[in-house]
Amino acid sequence: MAVPDTIYGLFPGPRSAERGMNGLRDAGVAADKIVVMASEPFEEYSFAQGERTTTMGWLAVCGGVVGGIAGFTLAWYTQTSYPLVTGGMPIVAPWPTGIVTYELTMMGAVLTTVIALLVGSRLPDWSHKLYDPEIAHGKVLIGVVDPSDEARADLENRLRRAGAEKVKATGRFATL
């Protein structure tokens, strides 16, 4: 995948990044065109809010239910397939069946959470996407994907005025 056409600024900290984000909003840039990347969450700042609605909790519950059903089925099936009276217990004894069901319920919830995280975060993804290694040095990346050619100068100015240490361009803008 090619790097998208982007103009972005690298900000030294969250406050300047917040100003940069406000500048882009004031310029009328749509929220889905703005990209943000940082090496820490900055959840208390509005620029890092992004998409906060997620069904991960419910998916974990569903995964748990599926795991529980699988656990019960496994316990029931194995006990009836090889019937063995142990300590006078019934063939399908509720206590041990409950333990196996419980463990597989939790396993289902854990597995579903991991899968939901990977799918929801669009990982793994080794394709060549927009990124700047300076993020690792504590910089916050705020940028606009696919802006019009006319808006470019204004966006760069806004990012610089907000405190961006560097303003960079990728895709077709990089060659202009």
Partner 1 sequence: MSAKTPEQINEDLLRPLAGVSARYLIVLACFLAVVIAGFTAFGWQVYHGIGVAGIRRPVFWGFYITNFVFWIGLSHAGTLISAILRLANATWRRPVTRCAEVITVFALSIGAMFPIIHLGRPWLFFWLVPYPSERGIWPNIHSPLLWDFFAISTYLLGSGTFLLLPILPDLALVRDRATGLRKKIYTVLAIGWRGTPRQWHRLEKAMQIMAIAVIPVAVSVHSIVSWDFAMAPVPMWHSTIFAPYFVAGAIFSGIAALIIAMALLRKFLHLEEYLLPVHFENLGKLLLVMSLLWVYFVFAERLTTWYGNEPSEMAVFWLTQRGSYSPLFWTMVTCNFLIPFPLLAIKKLRTITGCVIASIGVVIGMWLERFLIIVPALSHKYLPYSWGTYRPTWVEITITAATFAAMAMLYMLFSKFIPIISVWELKWGQHEEPERDSVLLRKDEEATA
Interface with partner 1 in residues 44-63 (CB under 8 A): 44, 47-52, 54, 56-57, 60
Q: How far is CA 164 from CA 4, 11, 14, 100, 138, in A?
A: 20, 4, 11, 56, 13
* Contacts of partner 1 in 121-150 (CB under 8 A): 121-127, 129-131, 133, 135-138
Largest pairwise CA distance in the chain: 83
Task: By CB under 8 A, name the one of 5, 6, 8, 16 that touches partner 1.
Answer: 16
Q: Which amino acid is at 51?
A: E
Rounded to the nearest 10 degrees, how much is the dihedral formed by the CA atoms of 145, 151, 12, 139? 20
Residue 117 is a binding residue for partner 1 (CB under 8 A):
yes
Residue 40 is a binding residue for partner 1 (CB under 8 A):
yes
What does the alpha-carbon distance between residue 83 and residue 71 come to, in Å, rounded to a whole number?
Answer: 18
Question: What's the min distance (Å) between Cβ of 149 and partner 1?
Answer: 26
Residue 21 is a binding residue for partner 1 (CB under 8 A):
no
Residue 104 is a binding residue for partner 1 (CB under 8 A):
yes
Residue 111 is a binding residue for partner 1 (CB under 8 A):
yes
**β-pairing, 6-11 with 166-170?**
antiparallel
Residue 157 is a binding residue for partner 1 (CB under 8 A):
no
